[in-house]
A and B are shown apart, each in its own frame.
Chain A
Amino acid sequence: MLLDAPDQEYMYSGHVGCPGCGAAIAMRFTLKALGDKTIMVLPACCWSIIAGPYPMSTLKIPVIHSAFETGGAVASGVRAALDMKGDTETTVVTWAGDGGTFDIGFQALSGAVERNEDFIYVCYDNEAYMNTGVQRSSSTPYGAWTTTTPGPEWKKMRKKNIVEVLVAHRIPYVATANIAFPEDLVHKVQKAKGLKGSRFIHIYASCPTGWRIPSEMSVKIARMAVQTNIFPLYEVESGVKYTINYKPKEYLVREYFKLQGRFRHLTEKDLDQIQEMVNEDWGLLLRKAGESL
């Protein structure tokens, strides 16, 4: 496959991610779009490990590792310092997991984007706290097993809709992306880079270890999340202008669920219910985008 993405690599080979790690793929393509005039703020997440131990680093850009809940705040400080030094060229990007975004870092993120700080916040979403061994987050989807939602206690709450929360802040740019759609991902990061103010990119990044899937299925399952409407690809400009980038109807939700060990316990009835939830969410999104089913 020929990719319309820059050839330049900003990740060295030899990172410490698991085989098939979606987060590693997400980083590689994001950095291709951002280039080397980038300073990254990296709160605690799997990527704190993937980036490698002292004195090595997997990334060819400066990385400020940060406390778990500080992604929005540390980046605000970095931007302020660069502005004071007259450096308007460097892009400041926060790279956080779903836990660091939806949960513990939520306050700092909301504060930073409310101030419309000039930075890009990327959340790579593997739908649980993977660094600490697959515990549930508010991004974990309805129906999922995690180590803190075991057996019959599988998660009965819906995934928090973080994109709509960010949209409600009326920031210049919010977009979803997916590791199985690298051209779309690169295009969105480049678009974000060209804008000013707070920009938020939510990247769906599969996790073979936590989802109980074979590593070679990582990209396929990520693609199916879009193809089932579970994770639609769309962007929202200035909190109002919705654009849906991909309109599939290729798989039923149950086909995506059946491939993953984390959903093994679900009955046909559960899956029917989940299909309805997905349909409902998709309908809601279409309405916001001014489109019909």
Chain B
Amino acid sequence: MKRVIEGSHAVAEAVRLARVQVISAYPITPQTHIVEILSEYCANGTMNARFLRVESEHSALAALIGAQSCGVRTFTATASQGLALMHELLHWTSGARLPIVMAEVNRALAPGWNIWTDQTDSLAQRDTGWIQMYCEDSQEVLDSMLQAYRLAERVYLPVMVVLDAFYLSHTFEPVDVPTQEEVDRFLPPYQPRFQADTENACAFGQLVPPGAYMKMRHNIAIGMDEALKSLNEIQEEFYAIFRRRYNAVEAVCCDDAEIILVTSGTITSTSRLVIKTLRGRGEKAGILKMKLFRPFPVEMIRKAISHAKKIAVIDRNFSFGASGIFAQELRAALYNTPDHPPVFGYIAGIGGLDATVELIEEIYWKTKNTAFPDEESIWMGI
């Protein structure tokens, strides 16, 4: 049924429909609406789940590590400082092969205090072994959350579903909220492959010598590779029930495009508008929407953009001393392909600064009118 709800609400509905059993979270703007709704659902019996109101984000994730180790489905949500505080345990979650799902609302890191959207918080966690999915609208948020459980429980790796602060978390949009029966068909109850059990006593996460440790780490790498394949299969299963599909990357008008904008999050929606206008004027412009950031879909990216004349990556994030993070990863993905197009890196919308239609158009023309990028990063709108 279509309902007009906030992005935060879309997350909460997905958590309810996924029949999550243990939730643990600590409040931080702009994540609060998610946990407020879920608190309500747990309190009034809409959900049959335990909500642990812990004293920090660090403990929120620690508690889920404990719960998931005992074989139940779990959820947390955070943003910015909260995610940074969890850092140690992000590594722990993937190392322990726990299919925990988190909603991460992209918010700028302090100082100074800034509650608006910025992707540096989540992208800075790229090496922690979490699958990361970026969302463009609230429907995609809800759908990605359901898919996240499917994927996590297939490859035994945690998934972070990422949404823009305010542009998604606090914006009302029509969202098709599926029925419980439909979701149950897509997402069966969690059947853990391992769990702490007094009938079969095992040790989890103990001291491990280098040889075995390296093998375990290699297994995580294999799990990430599998995630890419599994996500494709999951899209088919999802489509069969819900008639919607999201690929790891989405190529918009890319086939004959000479200049391709690479986008993620809500900047994608604005870019769609820009591309439409440009196409109307005969410009050969396209978009590559990055949904999946980890695992990084290298092959799909190469296939979609290698033929273009120029690539313009728009990053709402920055790695100091290097460049925009999507640009960095994209350059690396193209490096081993022959005659690949030059990659322009644009930094836009940092700390929630509006990335407008005009700004994105400017990025397009700048790219078109410059033969070759002579800077790694071009900061827009400052």
| A and B are interacting partners | yes
Q: Is B66 an interface residue (CB 8 A)?
A: yes
Chain A nearest CB from B54 CB (Å) reads 6
Residue from B63, B206, B212 within 8 A of A51 (CB atoms): B206
Given A53-B208, A53-B209, A84-B50, does the pair A78, B66 have CB atoms closer than 8 Å? Answer: yes
> What 1/0 flags go to B45-69 for Cβ under 8 Å of A?
0001110111110111011111111
Residue from A55, A61, A111 within 8 A of B198 (CB atoms): A61
Residue from B22, B88, B212 within 8 A of A77 (CB atoms): B22
Q: Is A41 an interface residue (CB 8 A)?
A: yes
Counting chain B CB atoms within 10 Å of each CB, the highest count among A60, A77, A107, A111 belongs to A77
**Chain A interface extent, by class:** 35 or more
Q: Is A76 an interface residue (CB 8 A)?
A: yes
Chain B nearest CB from A49 CB (Å) reads 6
Within 8 A of B (CB), among A40-64: 41, 48-49, 51-55, 57, 59-64
Within 8 A of A (CB), among B47-96: 48-50, 52-56, 58-60, 62-72, 74, 88-89, 92
Determine if A53 and B64 form an interchain contact, defined as CB atoms under 8 angstroms apart: no
> What 1/0 flags go to A223-256 for Cβ under 8 Å of B?
0000000000000000000000000000000000
Task: Return chain B residues, CB-CB under 8 Å to A75.
Answer: 66
Determine if A70 and B50 form an interchain contact, defined as CB atoms under 8 angstroms apart: no
Q: Is A216 an interface residue (CB 8 A)?
A: no
Counting chain A CB atoms within 10 Å of each CB, the highest count among B71, B89, B206 belongs to B206
Distance of A51 Cα from B11 Cα, bound (Å) = 41
Determine if B67 and A80 form an interchain contact, defined as CB atoms under 8 angstroms apart: yes
Given A38-B198, A76-B52, does the pair A54, B66 have CB atoms closer than 8 Å? Answer: no
Determine if B24 and A111 form an interchain contact, defined as CB atoms under 8 angstroms apart: no
Determine if B204 and A65 form an interchain contact, defined as CB atoms under 8 angstroms apart: yes
> What 1/0 flags go to A10-26 for Cβ under 8 Å of B?
00000000000000000
Residue from B53, B63, B74 within 8 A of A74 (CB atoms): B63
Q: A-B pairs with CB below 8 Å: how many?
A: 159
Task: Return chain A residues, CB-CB under 8 Å to B203.
Answer: 51-52, 54, 57, 59, 62-63, 65
Distance of A54 Cα from B211 Cα, bound (Å) = 11
Q: Is A81 an interface residue (CB 8 A)?
A: yes
Distance of A73 Cα from B63 Cα, bound (Å) = 5
Determine if B206 and A81 form an interchain contact, defined as CB atoms under 8 angstroms apart: no
Q: Is B197 an interface residue (CB 8 A)?
A: yes
Distance of A265 Cα from B191 Cα, bound (Å) = 60
Distance of A55 Cα from B204 Cα, bound (Å) = 10
Distance of A112 Cα from B21 Cα, bound (Å) = 19
Determine if B206 and A82 form an interchain contact, defined as CB atoms under 8 angstroms apart: no
Task: Return chain B residues, CB-CB under 8 Å to A82.
Answer: 70
Chain B nearest CB from A23 CB (Å) reads 15
Task: Return chain A residues, CB-CB under 8 Å to B197.
Answer: 62
Q: Is A110 an interface residue (CB 8 A)?
A: yes
Determine if B198 and A80 form an interchain contact, defined as CB atoms under 8 angstroms apart: no
Distance of A35 Cα from B338 Cα, bound (Å) = 65
Residue from A54, A66, A80 within 8 A of B52 (CB atoms): A80
Task: Return chain A residues, CB-CB under 8 Å to B53.
Answer: 115
Task: Return chain B residues, CB-CB under 8 Å to A112.
Answer: 59
Residue of A nearest to B197 (CB): A62
Given A84-B50, A85-B72, does the pair A64, B205 have CB atoms closer than 8 Å? Answer: yes
Task: Return chain A residues, CB-CB under 8 Å to B64.
Answer: 77
Q: List 24 A-B contacts (CB under 8 A).
A: A38-B198, A53-B207, A54-B203, A54-B207, A54-B209, A62-B196, A62-B201, A63-B201, A63-B204, A64-B66, A64-B69, A65-B204, A67-B89, A73-B66, A74-B65, A77-B22, A77-B63, A77-B65, A77-B74, A81-B21, A85-B71, A108-B56, A108-B58, A110-B55
Which residues of B are interface residues toward A (Cβ below 8 A)?
21-22, 24, 48-50, 52-56, 58-60, 62-72, 74, 88-89, 92, 196-198, 200-209, 212
The 10 closest A-B pairs by CB, nearest first: A77-B66, A111-B55, A77-B63, A73-B62, A73-B59, A81-B70, A77-B67, A74-B66, A70-B62, A65-B205
Give me 13 other A-B pairs in contact (C-beta within 8 A), A52-B203, A53-B207, A70-B65 excluded.
A41-B66, A57-B202, A61-B201, A63-B203, A70-B89, A76-B54, A77-B74, A80-B24, A81-B69, A81-B72, A84-B22, A84-B50, A111-B59
